[in-house]
A and B are shown apart, each in its own frame.
Chain A
Amino acid sequence: DTGVSQNPRHKITKRGQNVTFRCDPISEHNRLYWYRQTLGQGPEFLTYFQNEAQLEKSRLLSDRFSAERPKGSFSTLEIQRTEQGDSAMYLCASSPSTDGGEQYFGPGTRLTVT
Chain B
Amino acid sequence: GQSLEQPSEVTAVEGAIVQINCTYQTSGFYGLSWYQQHDGGAPTFLSYNALDGLEETGRFSSFLSRSDSYGYLLLQELQMKDSASYFCAVNPDSNYQLIWGAGTKLIIKP
Binding site for B on A (CB under 8 A): 31, 33, 35, 40-45, 48, 50, 55-56, 91, 93, 95, 99-108
Contact = CB atoms under 8 A, between A and B. Distances in A.
Given A41-B103, A42-B101, A42-B102, A105 B48 contact: no
30 contacts: A33-B98, A35-B98, A40-B103, A41-B103, A42-B89, A42-B101, A42-B102, A43-B87, A43-B98, A44-B100, A45-B97, A45-B98, A50-B95, A56-B95, A91-B42, A91-B43, A95-B96, A100-B30, A100-B91, A101-B31, A101-B48, A101-B96, A102-B33, A102-B45, A103-B33, A103-B98, A104-B45, A105-B42, A107-B42, A108-B42
Nearest to A47: B97
B87 A42 contact: yes
B100 A100 contact: no
Contacts, number: 61
Interface string B78-110: 000000000101010011111111110000000
Nearest to A42: B100
Contacts of B102: 40-42
Interface size class of B (residues with CB under 8 A): 20 to 34
Given A56-B95, A101-B96, A103-B98, A42 B48 contact: no
B44 A105 contact: yes
B43 A101 contact: no
A101 B33 contact: yes
Residue among A35, A40, A99, A101 with the highest chain B CB neighbour number at 10 A: A101
A6 to B, nearest CB: 9
